[in-house]
Each structure stands twice: as C-alpha cells, then as structure tokens.
C-alpha cells in the first residue's frame, strides 16, 4: 500500500474525530485577545493525538511538535475569530458546533479553526504511521490574527526563535493551493485647521473642508493604482473619518482620516505613503503643517497579559509556481486525489504577510472551506474538506 493511500485511509478513519474536534472549538467563543479557553482545548486535542511536545508561548500561541528532524515544517492556523454580527442573520446557533448534513456549523468553522482541527488529525496520522523522516513537524494554533494579521508569527520568529523552512497556512482555499496575496497597510492622515465661532466661519480654517478635498482625490487615486497579472490591482479606500472642534458652534479644527490600502506586487510602504503625500500637496495643503501622513501602529495585550505590537504594514507576497514548496504541494495533491490542483491566491490578507512578506519563509496556502464564508453569517465547513486537508498536511510532511 502506498503512503498516500494509507494516509487517505486514516484520514477517513478519523472523519468524525476531526469534525467533533472542530465542533468542540466552535463551542468556545474566541475573538482576538479572548482565546485562552479555546487554546486549552487545542492543547488537550494535541496531547490526545500523541504530539511529542505541546506548549503555549508568551503571546498565547499553542505550538505542537512531532519529530525533531533538521527540516522544519509548520502548519499554521489562527484560532481567533470575528464576532457573529447580527444574530438575526444566522439560521442556527453560531456557537453550537453542530455536525449536520455533512457540515460542521458555526463561527470559525471556515475562518479558520477547521485548519487547526485538520492539522491536529494530520499529526495523529503521522504518529500512527510511525513518521520517521528527518523533519520537525509543527502545528501552530496562533492568536490575534483577526486583529493584526502576522503579529503572532512576528512573535514566533523573533521571540521564540522558531523559523521554519516551509509553512502551510490553513486559511480557507476551497482545497486549492494558494501561493500569495496582496499586502495591506493602514494609513492615517491628520488634518489641522483653526477653530473660530461658527457664526463667522471665515475667521478660521475648517479641517473638514481640507480633508474633503483630499478625500475626493483619494477616490481618484484608487482608479490609477498599479495592477499585477496574478495578484490583481492595488486599492485604497477611506474607512474612517473623524472630525473635532471646540463645540458644535465652532469651525472644525481637526480631522483624522483612516485609509485601508491594499498593496499589489511592486507597491511598498514608501511608495504608498508618497502617493498620499502627493495627493495632499496637489490640493494646496502643506505637509507636516496642515496635514500629516502616518503609518499606524498596533499594540494590544494578549490573553496571556503580554503587550505586543507592530507597525500596520503587511507586505505583499507571492511564491513562484516553480518553487519547491509549491511543487511539493502539487505532488502531495496529485498522489492523494489523482488530479491536478488549482493554483490561485487569496483575496484577503493572512499571516503570510510576516511568514513570507517579512521573513521570506517559503509557504503555500491549503485550507478546508470556501473563503466566501469567512466573516459571514451561517458559516459552515464541509466534513469532506476536513478529511482531505488532514490527509494533505500529512502527505506534505512526507514529500517536503
């Protein structure tokens, strides 16, 4: 019997085990910075699966290890989820974790506790098969991704000193192999006007009017941003606009504008900031005096009590299809499923912004579930996807 066939048999054998494990995670609400209880469940599942070592790092990531070889492979999935939004939009209890009609139902089933559940099963499969390759196989249940994608891997690489040779992100790919996505950054523009009594606005300088001129030009900037044949076009949009004044009977003397900037290939932090600065100058405002552009910073306290942060610049990344990490994924897919995989990209951002964007670690994406369900009501993941994903992660460990 081939390795691939044996792995598929074991993945099928653990079909219900994987689905129930996912359901147990879903039952535990786990928004960013509130992952403590669900991580305790992940630890329990990894230990039950027979991992050689399971521990929680200072930020709260669970790191499970099998083997102690020279080549290091990590399967990453974030355990934090977004909230449920309007409960009336859900046809079922988002935290029930029910397995029904071939699906696991609930918040986090696609984005993306399903990847963690499948990776834990992959670890169980490797242990049962007596995995003896010269490989260290990590499963990382990471935290705070929804609040700041990539922060968890900044901590793992820089503080834990774990830098794998290869990574698979289990973000949803509909069981396709993904090799990149656009980057992003959060830019703030602070406008400074001069207040005066609202009965005589000509005496002051209204920051709202200043910002409004820039806002119209930002809309035009979006239309002319760079395009990449694989990743698509860069975008920019205004996601927040706040004004301030001494009173409602006064001219506004301040405005803060928040930009969501998505970066395609070839766009950088420096180029994106310069574009916004040129827009400000084009409407006659003085940089540094009337308007200031800043790349924003993230810093929050993890459930462990650790305060940690990073600049809100998340680089674009893509891996060439010919690279070993992609081809190992293609080989694994073909051996398991007897067909060619679809190779594509995510529309949204993932922990890949640090894994490859900053640290240049070769990586691919392969995850259960369809990304259109991410952050949506009535989120659900096919059990069949869980089976195939757990088989893929195990087979990849043999092929890499």
Catalytically annotated residue among 145, 149, 228, 290: 145
For 329-341, what is the mean pLDDT?
Answer: 98
Token pair, residue 43, equals 């630890």
pLDDT in the model for residue 320: 98
pLDDT digits (tens, 9 = 90+) for 189-202: 999 999 999 999 99
pLDDT digits (tens, 9 = 90+) for 225-258: 999 999 999 999 999 999 999 999 999 999 999 9
Residue with token string 């087979």: 395
For 381-394, what is the mean pLDDT?
Answer: 98
pLDDT digits (tens, 9 = 90+) for 18-42: 999 999 999 999 999 999 999 999 9
Is 80 known to be catalytic? Answer: yes
Token pair, residue 50, equals 């027979």
Q: Where are the domains of the chain?
A: 3-181+316-399, 183-299
Catalytically annotated residue among 35, 80, 113, 253: 80
What does each C-alpha distance from 66 to 14, 69, 140, 186, 313 come to in angstroms? 18, 9, 12, 38, 33
pLDDT in the model for residue 97: 97
Asked if 357 contacts 317 with a C-beta cutoff of 8 angstroms, the reply is yes
Is 146 known to be catalytic? Answer: no
CATH architecture of 183-299: 2-Layer Sandwich (3.30)
Asked if 230 contacts 283 with a C-beta cutoff of 8 angstroms, the reply is no
Fold of 3-181+316-399: Aminopeptidase (3.40.630)
Asked if 45 contacts 139 with a C-beta cutoff of 8 angstroms, the reply is no
For 204-210, what is the mean pLDDT?
Answer: 98
For 152-175, what is the mean pLDDT?
Answer: 98
User: Residue 326: pLDDT band by 50, 70, 90 thresholds?
Assistant: very high
pLDDT averaged over every residue in the chain: 98
pLDDT in the model for residue 171: 98
Percentages (nearest 5) of helix, strand, coil residues in the chain: 35, 25, 40
pLDDT in the model for residue 1: 86
pLDDT digits (tens, 9 = 90+) for 41-81: 999 999 999 999 999 999 999 999 999 999 999 999 999 99
pLDDT surpassing 90 at residue 338: yes
């Amino acid at each position: 019997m081939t390795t691939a066939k044996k792995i598929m048999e074991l993945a099928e054998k653990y079909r219900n085990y994987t689905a129930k494990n996912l359901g147990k995670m879903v039952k535990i609400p786990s928004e960013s910075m509130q992952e403590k209880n669900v991580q305790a469940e992940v630890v329990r599942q990894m230990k039950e699966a027979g991992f050689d070592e399971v521990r929680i790092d200072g930020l709260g990531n669970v790191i499970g290890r099998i083997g102690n070889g020279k080549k290091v492979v990590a399967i990453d999935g974030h355990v934090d989820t977004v909230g449920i939004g309007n409960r009336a939009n859900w046809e079922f209890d988002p935290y029930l974790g029910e397995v029904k009609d071939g699906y696991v139902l609930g918040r986090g089933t696609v984005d993306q506790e399903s990847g963690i559940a499948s990776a834990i099963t992959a670890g169980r499969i490797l242990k049962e098969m007596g995995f003896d390759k010269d490989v260290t196989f990590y499963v990382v249940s990471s935290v705070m991704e929804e609040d700041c994608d990539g922060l968890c891997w900044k901590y793992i690489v820089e503080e834990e000193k774990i830098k794998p040779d290869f990574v698979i992100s289990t973000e949803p790919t509909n069981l396709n192999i993904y090799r990149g996505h656009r980057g992003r950054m959060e830019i703030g523009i602070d406008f400074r006007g001069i207040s005066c009594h609202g009965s005589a606005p000509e005496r002051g300088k209204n920051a709202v009017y200043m910002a409004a001129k820039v806002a119209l030009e930002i809309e035009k900037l979006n239309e002319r941003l760079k395009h990449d044949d694989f990743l698509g076009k860069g975008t920019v949009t205004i996601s927040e606009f706040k004004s301030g004044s001494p009173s409602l009977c006064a001219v506004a003397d301040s405005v803060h504008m928040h930009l969501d900037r998505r970066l395609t290939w070839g766009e950088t932090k420096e180029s994106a900031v310069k574009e916004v600065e040129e827009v400000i100058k084009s409407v006659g405002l003085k940089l540094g005096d009337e308007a200031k552009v800043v790349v924003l910073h993230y810093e929050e306290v993890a459930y462990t009590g650790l305060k940690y942060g990073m600049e809100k610049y998340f680089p674009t990344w893509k891996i060439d299809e010919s690279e070993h990490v992609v081809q190992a994924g293609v080989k694994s897919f073909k051996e398991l499923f007897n067909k060619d995989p679809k190779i594509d990209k995510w529309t949204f951002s993932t922990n890949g912004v640090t894994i490859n964007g900053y640290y240049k670690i070769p990586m691919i994406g392969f995850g259960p579930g369809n990304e259109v369900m991410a952050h949506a009501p009535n989120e659900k993941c096919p059990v069949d996807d869980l089976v195939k994903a757990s088989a893929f992660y195990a087979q990849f460990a043999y092929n890499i």
